[in-house]
Amino acid sequence: MSYTVLRNGCVYYLPSSAIKEDDLVQATTGEYLPASSYPEFSQLFPNRNFSQGSADASNGDAWFFTLILVAGIGYLIWKAFEPTPQRRRRSARRAPNDEYLPEWKKQIVRERDEEICAYCEAHDPNGHVDHRVSRKNGGTNHLNNLVWACSPCNLSKGAMNGREFRRLISSQVRM
């Protein structure tokens, strides 16, 4: 049979033959009592008198380890509810994109969007390839960031992002 033993601040699961007299053994109540206070270990400690109760032998050690246990739990609870330090917020803007936009990508966007403006939905064969997230705001040259835009929309959009420009157009149409 294996016993839960507290020895030098560490918990071990030991057979009865490995238990020492100064070890603390977990009782059925959950508290740790000195091994010398258990009658079943009488053959291990022949010089010990087991007629006295276990309560008076365990008071000092049990209270000490209970105090350590409660202090540890209190510390963990305090750490769990401690407010986290404020982290610096990263800037929403990325470095500007100065990458060259190849002609073949422009042709793919023209064919994909069928020369229809992504903002006002007008057909304009003389339009431009536009970045949804502008290059100034770190927009990439990936095809999912490129759209076809008519000349008036693209020139009035400037460095705005696509969503901002759509909101601007929709608010002007409502007026």
- What is the pTM assigned to this prediction? 0.45
Least confident of 41-45, 56-60, 127-131, 161-165: 56-60
Q: Are strands 10-15 and 146-149 parallel, antiparallel or unpaired?
A: unpaired
Range 103-174 has CATH code 1.10.30.50: yes
CA distance 25 to 70: 19
Place of tokens 């008198």: 49
At 95 the three-state DSSP class reads coil
At 131 the three-state DSSP class reads strand
Q: How many CA atoms lie within 13 A of 97 on its CB side?
A: 17
Task: Please give the pLDDT value at position 174.
Answer: 61
Domain ranges, ordered by start, for the chain: 2-75, 103-174
pLDDT in tens, 75-108: 888 888 877 666 655 555 567 778 889 999 999 9
pLDDT in tens, 119-154: 889 999 999 999 998 888 888 899 999 999 999 998
The amino acid present at 164, given as its one-letter code, is E
Instruction: List helix spans (H) across 13-161.
Output: 55-80, 103-113, 151-157
Reading phi first (left if > 0) and then psi (alpha if -120 to 50, else beta), residue 9 is in: left
The percentage of residues in the chain with a pLDDT greater than 70, rounded to a whole number, is: 81
